Structure 1
Amino acid sequence: MLDKPAPFVVNVDSVEEEQHLQGEHWGGAFKPLTPALDKRPGRLGVNLSRVPSGRSACPFHAHSREDEVFFVLSGRGVFRYGESVQEIGPGDCISCPADTGVAHQLANPFDSDLVYLGIGLNDPHEVCVYPDTGKINVRSLGRVGYLDDAPYYDGEPERPRIFELPVEPRSRRDPG
Protein backbone atom coordinates (compact mmCIF):
# COMPACT_ATOMS: atom_id res chain seq x y z
CA MET A 1 0.00 0.00 0.00
CA LEU A 2 1.39 3.39 -0.97
CA ASP A 3 1.60 6.18 1.56
CA LYS A 4 -0.89 8.94 0.94
CA PRO A 5 1.00 12.09 -0.10
CA ALA A 6 1.16 14.83 2.49
CA PRO A 7 -1.18 17.76 1.78
CA PHE A 8 0.24 20.95 0.30
CA VAL A 9 -2.46 23.03 2.00
CA VAL A 10 -3.43 22.53 5.63
CA ASN A 11 -5.67 24.57 7.87
CA VAL A 12 -4.26 25.18 11.34
CA ASP A 13 -7.55 24.09 12.92
CA SER A 14 -7.29 20.65 11.27
CA VAL A 15 -3.79 19.89 12.61
CA GLU A 16 -3.53 17.99 15.86
CA GLU A 17 -1.40 19.68 18.49
CA GLU A 18 1.59 17.66 19.73
CA GLN A 19 2.69 18.26 23.33
CA HIS A 20 6.20 17.82 24.65
CA LEU A 21 6.19 18.57 28.37
CA GLN A 22 8.89 17.77 30.91
CA GLY A 23 8.36 18.59 34.56
CA GLU A 24 6.72 21.86 35.56
CA HIS A 25 8.87 24.29 33.58
CA TRP A 26 9.97 22.66 30.33
CA GLY A 27 8.19 22.11 27.05
CA GLY A 28 5.18 23.30 25.14
CA ALA A 29 3.10 22.24 22.19
CA PHE A 30 3.24 22.61 18.43
CA LYS A 31 1.30 21.98 15.24
CA PRO A 32 3.39 21.01 12.19
CA LEU A 33 1.98 23.12 9.35
CA THR A 34 4.16 21.93 6.44
CA PRO A 35 3.71 18.14 6.16
CA ALA A 36 4.55 18.15 2.44
CA LEU A 37 8.02 19.47 3.34
CA ASP A 38 8.51 17.64 6.65
CA LYS A 39 8.95 14.23 5.02
CA ARG A 40 12.06 15.45 3.16
CA PRO A 41 14.87 16.41 5.58
CA GLY A 42 16.65 19.68 4.94
CA ARG A 43 13.52 21.47 3.76
CA LEU A 44 12.04 24.62 5.19
CA GLY A 45 9.31 23.91 7.72
CA VAL A 46 6.82 25.85 9.84
CA ASN A 47 5.31 24.97 13.21
CA LEU A 48 2.65 26.82 15.17
CA SER A 49 4.13 26.73 18.68
CA ARG A 50 2.48 27.37 22.02
CA VAL A 51 4.38 27.85 25.28
CA PRO A 52 2.20 27.85 28.42
CA SER A 53 2.86 30.19 31.33
CA GLY A 54 5.95 29.35 33.39
CA ARG A 55 7.61 27.19 30.70
CA SER A 56 10.44 27.30 28.21
CA ALA A 57 9.94 25.27 25.04
CA CYS A 58 13.58 24.17 24.89
CA PRO A 59 16.98 24.68 26.52
CA PHE A 60 19.36 27.52 25.56
CA HIS A 61 20.99 26.26 22.35
CA ALA A 62 23.01 27.22 19.26
CA HIS A 63 22.62 25.65 15.81
CA SER A 64 25.54 24.94 13.52
CA ARG A 65 23.49 24.54 10.31
CA GLU A 66 19.88 25.65 10.85
CA ASP A 67 18.79 29.29 10.77
CA GLU A 68 15.58 29.83 12.74
CA VAL A 69 12.92 32.54 12.62
CA PHE A 70 10.14 33.06 15.15
CA PHE A 71 7.11 35.30 14.53
CA VAL A 72 5.05 36.07 17.63
CA LEU A 73 1.29 35.87 17.05
CA SER A 74 -0.07 36.34 20.59
CA GLY A 75 0.95 36.48 24.21
CA ARG A 76 4.21 37.73 25.63
CA GLY A 77 7.48 36.04 26.35
CA VAL A 78 11.17 36.58 26.79
CA PHE A 79 13.89 35.94 24.22
CA ARG A 80 17.39 35.11 25.38
CA TYR A 81 20.09 35.66 22.77
CA GLY A 82 23.65 35.26 23.96
CA GLU A 83 23.97 37.39 27.08
CA SER A 84 20.86 39.52 26.48
CA VAL A 85 17.23 38.89 27.45
CA GLN A 86 14.36 40.99 26.14
CA GLU A 87 10.58 40.91 26.24
CA ILE A 88 8.80 39.86 23.03
CA GLY A 89 5.19 40.15 21.94
CA PRO A 90 2.74 40.11 19.02
CA GLY A 91 4.24 41.26 15.73
CA ASP A 92 7.86 40.65 16.76
CA CYS A 93 9.95 38.70 14.24
CA ILE A 94 13.06 37.09 15.72
CA SER A 95 16.04 35.93 13.64
CA CYS A 96 18.51 33.34 14.94
CA PRO A 97 21.28 32.79 12.38
CA ALA A 98 23.15 29.49 12.41
CA ASP A 99 26.90 29.01 12.73
CA THR A 100 27.46 32.07 14.91
CA GLY A 101 28.04 30.25 18.20
CA VAL A 102 25.37 32.48 19.78
CA ALA A 103 22.69 30.50 21.58
CA HIS A 104 19.01 31.40 21.91
CA GLN A 105 15.92 30.45 23.92
CA LEU A 106 12.27 31.50 24.26
CA ALA A 107 10.34 31.33 27.53
CA ASN A 108 7.01 32.47 28.94
CA PRO A 109 7.06 34.00 32.45
CA PHE A 110 3.69 35.69 31.86
CA ASP A 111 0.08 34.61 32.58
CA SER A 112 -1.20 33.74 29.09
CA ASP A 113 0.17 31.37 26.44
CA LEU A 114 2.95 32.58 24.13
CA VAL A 115 2.02 31.61 20.54
CA TYR A 116 4.40 31.95 17.61
CA LEU A 117 5.35 30.54 14.23
CA GLY A 118 8.67 28.71 14.27
CA ILE A 119 10.32 28.59 10.85
CA GLY A 120 13.48 26.73 9.95
CA LEU A 121 15.17 23.79 8.30
CA ASN A 122 15.10 20.18 9.37
CA ASP A 123 18.72 19.46 8.48
CA PRO A 124 19.56 15.78 8.98
CA HIS A 125 23.19 16.75 9.69
CA GLU A 126 22.48 19.42 12.31
CA VAL A 127 24.74 19.71 15.34
CA CYS A 128 23.37 21.74 18.21
CA VAL A 129 25.22 22.80 21.37
CA TYR A 130 23.74 23.68 24.76
CA PRO A 131 26.10 26.12 26.52
CA ASP A 132 24.28 26.09 29.90
CA THR A 133 24.88 22.35 30.34
CA GLY A 134 27.65 21.41 27.88
CA LYS A 135 25.41 18.96 26.02
CA ILE A 136 25.60 18.41 22.28
CA ASN A 137 22.97 17.06 19.87
CA VAL A 138 24.20 15.24 16.76
CA ARG A 139 21.02 14.66 14.76
CA SER A 140 22.55 12.24 12.23
CA LEU A 141 23.51 9.96 15.13
CA GLY A 142 20.21 10.45 16.95
CA ARG A 143 22.16 11.31 20.10
CA VAL A 144 22.11 14.04 22.73
CA GLY A 145 24.80 13.86 25.37
CA TYR A 146 28.17 15.02 26.59
CA LEU A 147 31.53 14.84 24.85
CA ASP A 148 34.65 13.90 26.75
CA ASP A 149 38.08 14.94 25.53
CA ALA A 150 40.28 12.08 24.36
CA PRO A 151 43.55 11.80 22.48
CA TYR A 152 43.07 11.19 18.74
CA TYR A 153 44.17 7.52 18.84
CA ASP A 154 42.55 6.74 22.22
CA GLY A 155 40.79 3.35 22.16
CA GLU A 156 42.26 2.31 18.82
CA PRO A 157 43.87 -1.16 18.71
CA GLU A 158 47.66 -1.52 18.59
CA ARG A 159 47.37 -2.92 15.06
CA PRO A 160 44.74 -1.12 12.87
CA ARG A 161 41.78 -3.37 12.03
CA ILE A 162 42.19 -2.70 8.30
CA PHE A 163 45.18 -5.06 8.32
CA GLU A 164 42.89 -7.92 9.42
CA LEU A 165 40.25 -7.45 6.68
CA PRO A 166 40.21 -9.35 3.36
CA VAL A 167 41.50 -7.36 0.40
CA GLU A 168 39.92 -7.60 -3.03
CA PRO A 169 42.64 -8.29 -5.61
CA ARG A 170 43.35 -5.45 -8.00
CA SER A 171 42.56 -7.52 -11.12
CA ARG A 172 38.96 -8.18 -9.95
CA ARG A 173 37.96 -4.53 -9.69
CA ASP A 174 35.88 -2.91 -12.37
CA PRO A 175 38.31 -0.86 -14.53
CA GLY A 176 35.83 1.87 -15.30
Structure 2
Amino acid sequence: MDSIIIQKTTDTIGKHKKEHEGFEYYKSVLVPARASGQCKVTLYEIPPKQAAYPYHYHTKNEESFYILKGKGLLRTPKGEEIVGPGDFIFFPASKDGAHKLTNVSDSEFLVYLDFDTYNDIDVAFYPDSNKIGIWGKGIDQVYKVQEQIEYYDGE
Protein backbone atom coordinates (compact mmCIF):
# COMPACT_ATOMS: atom_id res chain seq x y z
CA MET A 1 0.00 0.00 0.00
CA ASP A 2 1.56 3.26 -1.11
CA SER A 3 -1.17 5.78 -0.47
CA ILE A 4 -2.03 8.37 2.14
CA ILE A 5 -3.49 6.86 5.30
CA ILE A 6 -6.10 8.72 7.33
CA GLN A 7 -7.38 6.70 10.24
CA LYS A 8 -9.09 7.36 13.55
CA THR A 9 -7.35 5.48 16.33
CA THR A 10 -10.77 4.88 17.87
CA ASP A 11 -11.74 2.91 14.74
CA THR A 12 -8.82 0.51 14.93
CA ILE A 13 -9.17 -2.93 16.45
CA GLY A 14 -6.23 -3.84 18.62
CA LYS A 15 -4.67 -7.28 18.49
CA HIS A 16 -4.52 -8.64 22.02
CA LYS A 17 -1.48 -10.64 23.08
CA LYS A 18 -0.87 -12.24 26.46
CA GLU A 19 1.43 -15.24 26.25
CA HIS A 20 3.66 -14.83 29.30
CA GLU A 21 3.35 -13.53 32.85
CA GLY A 22 4.08 -9.79 33.04
CA PHE A 23 3.68 -9.19 29.30
CA GLU A 24 0.42 -8.13 27.70
CA TYR A 25 -0.70 -5.56 25.14
CA TYR A 26 -3.30 -4.41 22.67
CA LYS A 27 -1.63 -3.43 19.40
CA SER A 28 -3.31 -1.41 16.64
CA VAL A 29 -1.25 -1.01 13.48
CA LEU A 30 -1.80 2.45 12.02
CA VAL A 31 0.88 2.34 9.31
CA PRO A 32 1.78 -1.24 8.40
CA ALA A 33 5.25 -2.40 7.35
CA ARG A 34 5.35 -2.16 3.57
CA ALA A 35 7.79 -3.50 0.99
CA SER A 36 8.36 0.00 -0.39
CA GLY A 37 8.15 1.83 2.95
CA GLN A 38 10.57 2.63 5.73
CA CYS A 39 8.08 3.60 8.43
CA LYS A 40 5.77 1.61 10.69
CA VAL A 41 3.42 3.17 13.28
CA THR A 42 1.58 1.28 15.99
CA LEU A 43 -0.70 2.30 18.86
CA TYR A 44 -0.01 0.26 22.01
CA GLU A 45 -2.29 -0.06 25.02
CA ILE A 46 -0.60 -1.74 27.97
CA PRO A 47 -2.72 -3.03 30.88
CA PRO A 48 -1.76 -2.21 34.47
CA LYS A 49 1.49 -3.77 35.75
CA GLN A 50 2.35 -5.20 32.31
CA ALA A 51 4.98 -4.58 29.62
CA ALA A 52 4.69 -5.20 25.90
CA TYR A 53 8.17 -6.65 25.41
CA PRO A 54 11.23 -7.70 27.42
CA TYR A 55 14.28 -5.46 27.72
CA HIS A 56 15.85 -5.41 24.24
CA TYR A 57 17.61 -3.44 21.52
CA HIS A 58 17.62 -3.55 17.74
CA THR A 59 20.57 -3.51 15.33
CA LYS A 60 18.73 -2.00 12.33
CA ASN A 61 15.33 -0.59 13.31
CA GLU A 62 15.09 2.62 15.31
CA GLU A 63 12.06 3.24 17.53
CA SER A 64 10.36 6.31 18.97
CA PHE A 65 7.60 6.33 21.57
CA TYR A 66 5.17 9.17 22.26
CA ILE A 67 3.24 8.66 25.50
CA LEU A 68 -0.44 9.59 25.21
CA LYS A 69 -1.90 8.35 28.50
CA GLY A 70 -0.79 6.75 31.76
CA LYS A 71 2.61 6.36 33.38
CA GLY A 72 5.36 3.93 32.60
CA LEU A 73 8.66 2.84 34.06
CA LEU A 74 11.24 3.16 31.29
CA ARG A 75 14.36 1.04 31.69
CA THR A 76 17.39 1.94 29.55
CA PRO A 77 21.17 1.41 29.87
CA LYS A 78 21.22 4.70 31.83
CA GLY A 79 18.78 3.42 34.47
CA GLU A 80 15.06 3.73 35.15
CA GLU A 81 12.71 6.70 35.07
CA ILE A 82 8.99 7.40 35.02
CA VAL A 83 7.53 8.67 31.74
CA GLY A 84 4.05 10.02 31.08
CA PRO A 85 1.78 11.96 28.73
CA GLY A 86 3.65 14.25 26.38
CA ASP A 87 6.98 12.44 26.77
CA PHE A 88 8.78 11.51 23.55
CA ILE A 89 11.51 8.84 23.67
CA PHE A 90 13.89 7.86 20.86
CA PHE A 91 15.79 4.55 20.82
CA PRO A 92 18.76 4.28 18.43
CA ALA A 93 19.53 0.95 16.76
CA SER A 94 22.36 -0.12 19.09
CA LYS A 95 23.09 -1.29 22.64
CA ASP A 96 22.59 2.32 23.72
CA GLY A 97 18.95 2.03 22.58
CA ALA A 98 18.07 -0.93 24.84
CA HIS A 99 14.68 -0.44 26.50
CA LYS A 100 11.69 -1.85 28.31
CA LEU A 101 8.53 0.11 29.15
CA THR A 102 6.30 -1.18 31.95
CA ASN A 103 2.94 0.25 33.02
CA VAL A 104 3.25 1.24 36.70
CA SER A 105 -0.45 1.91 37.30
CA ASP A 106 -2.74 -0.37 39.31
CA SER A 107 -5.79 0.63 37.29
CA GLU A 108 -5.03 2.72 34.15
CA PHE A 109 -3.77 1.61 30.76
CA LEU A 110 -0.49 3.01 29.44
CA VAL A 111 -1.11 4.21 25.86
CA TYR A 112 1.61 5.24 23.42
CA LEU A 113 2.42 5.59 19.75
CA ASP A 114 5.39 3.56 18.52
CA PHE A 115 7.09 4.98 15.40
CA ASP A 116 9.60 2.53 13.89
CA THR A 117 11.92 2.49 10.95
CA TYR A 118 11.39 -0.70 8.98
CA ASN A 119 14.15 -2.83 7.47
CA ASP A 120 13.61 -6.14 5.68
CA ILE A 121 15.74 -7.95 8.26
CA ASP A 122 16.37 -6.78 11.82
CA VAL A 123 18.21 -8.45 14.68
CA ALA A 124 17.20 -7.78 18.27
CA PHE A 125 19.19 -8.69 21.38
CA TYR A 126 17.62 -9.49 24.77
CA PRO A 127 20.39 -8.90 27.36
CA ASP A 128 18.44 -10.21 30.39
CA SER A 129 17.77 -13.63 28.85
CA ASN A 130 20.80 -13.82 26.53
CA LYS A 131 18.64 -14.28 23.42
CA ILE A 132 18.81 -13.01 19.88
CA GLY A 133 15.79 -12.53 17.63
CA ILE A 134 15.87 -12.38 13.85
CA TRP A 135 12.87 -10.55 12.41
CA GLY A 136 11.67 -10.03 8.85
CA LYS A 137 11.02 -11.76 5.54
CA GLY A 138 9.05 -14.44 7.38
CA ILE A 139 11.99 -15.54 9.53
CA ASP A 140 10.81 -14.31 12.97
CA GLN A 141 12.91 -16.66 15.13
CA VAL A 142 14.56 -16.43 18.57
CA TYR A 143 17.72 -18.24 19.69
CA LYS A 144 19.92 -18.43 22.76
CA VAL A 145 23.18 -16.57 22.11
CA GLN A 146 25.27 -19.35 23.74
CA GLU A 147 24.27 -21.62 20.86
CA GLN A 148 26.54 -19.55 18.62
CA ILE A 149 28.82 -21.74 16.52
CA GLU A 150 31.71 -21.25 14.13
CA TYR A 151 30.84 -20.15 10.60
CA TYR A 152 31.92 -23.43 8.91
CA ASP A 153 30.65 -25.77 11.64
CA GLY A 154 28.85 -28.72 10.03
CA GLU A 155 29.92 -27.90 6.46
Match of 2:93 among 88, 94, 98: 98
Q: Which letter maps to 1:129?
A: F
Q: Alpha carbons of 1:63 and 1:42: their partners in 2 closer, same or farther (altered >3 Å)?
A: farther
Are 2:130 and 1:134 aligned?
yes
Among 111, 118, 133, the alignment partner of 1:115 is 111
- Structure 1 gap segments, 5+ residues each: 157-176
In the alignment, structure 1 residue 29 sits paired with structure 2 residue 26: yes
Partner of 2:153: 154
Output the amino acid matched with 2:140.
G
Aligned to 1:144: 142
Which of the two has greater strand per residue?
2
TM-score by length of 1: 0.77
**TM-fit CA distance, 1:42:** 5.2
User: Given the superposition, is the C-alpha separation of residues 66 and 42 from structure 1 closer, same or farther in structure 2, using an over 3 Å criterion?
Assistant: farther
Q: Is 1:57 the counterpart of 2:52 in the alignment? A: yes
Q: What's the % identity of the aligned pairs? A: 30
* Equivalent residue pairs, number: 151
Amino acid at match of 1:55: Q
CA distance in 2, matches of 1:93, 1:67: 14
Moved over 6 A (4+): 4-7
Which is higher, the Rg of structure 1 or of structure 2? Answer: 1
1:17 aligned to 6, 14, 25, which one?
14
TM-score (norm 2): 0.87
Structure 1: how far apart are the matches of 2:76 and 2:36? 26
Alpha-carbon spacing, 1:102–1:117, altered in 2? closer, same or farther (3 Å): closer
- The more displaced of 136-145 and 47-56 is 136-145
Q: Which amino acid aligns with 2:149?
A: A
CA contact (8 A) 1:41 1:124 kept: no
AA partner of residue 11 (structure 2): S
Unaligned runs of 5+ in 2: none
